[in-house]
Structure 1
Amino acid sequence: MAKTQLNVRVDEGTARAARERALARGVSVNRYIEELVRQDTGEAGHAFVEAAADFMKQYEAVFAEDSGTDGDRRHEGRG
């Protein structure tokens, strides 16, 4: 992905907090800010949900076989 430069001005306390949090996480301040924006815009959540849906679709038959169910038959005998 192409990168673009974004210059922002923040007070010294905010800058210090960003540096400290980035250091604690073992990432650059740039990476830390990118992660915050992605979290705020939901990109990380969307990517996780899409990956989980793909995983479930790929292994749907395996899960059904392991649990002894296959679609509509899972409710037979109940109730």
Structure 2
Amino acid sequence: MTGMAKTQLNVRVDETTAEAARARASQRGISVNRYIEELVRGDQAENGRTFVEAAADFMKQYETVFAEEFGRDREGRIDPLDPAGEPLPPHTAGPATA
């Protein structure tokens, strides 16, 4: 990300880890700093993918529960109910649209 302010971060690692980082950065033709930045960004992206995959698995696992509770034809919409428990007509369900 070009243009972002840089902050110095000092870390201590054993010499084997330091050499591995230097070697890998050199193989890729980038600085150790850039290599570490890319590792952290990659880790963040992986965590995001893991969350989305877990949410999708949860929804798939409980799909029948949601369908039984809310009905298959509702397509994820929750209609407001009147005091008698019946759905309100579309023109009264939510803010007016122009």
Give TM-score scaled by structure 2 length: 0.43
The higher relative CO (CA closer than 8 Å, separation ≥ 6) is in 1
How many pairs are equivalent?
45
The answer to whether residue 36 in structure 2 is matched with residue 33 in structure 1 is yes
Cα deviation for residue 10 of structure 1 reads 0.1
C-alpha distance in structure 1 between counterparts of 2:22 and 2:6, whole Å = 21
- After TM superposition, the structure 1 = structure 2 runs for residues 1-79 of structure 1, keeping only pairs within 5 Å, are 1-42=4-45
Alignment partners' CA distance in 2, 1:35 and 1:24: 14
Give the helix-richer structure, 1 or 2. 1
- Runs of 4+ residues deviating >3 angstroms: none
Q: What runs of 5+ residues in structure 2 fail to find an aligned partner? A: 50-98
With normalisation by structure 1, the TM-score equals 0.53
C-alpha separation between the residues in 2 aligned to 1:42 and 1:5?
22
One-letter amino acid matched to 2:25: A
Task: Provide structure 1 residue ranges, at least 5 long, that are not aligned to the other structure.
Answer: 47-79
- Give the RMSD, CA atoms, in angstroms: 1.8
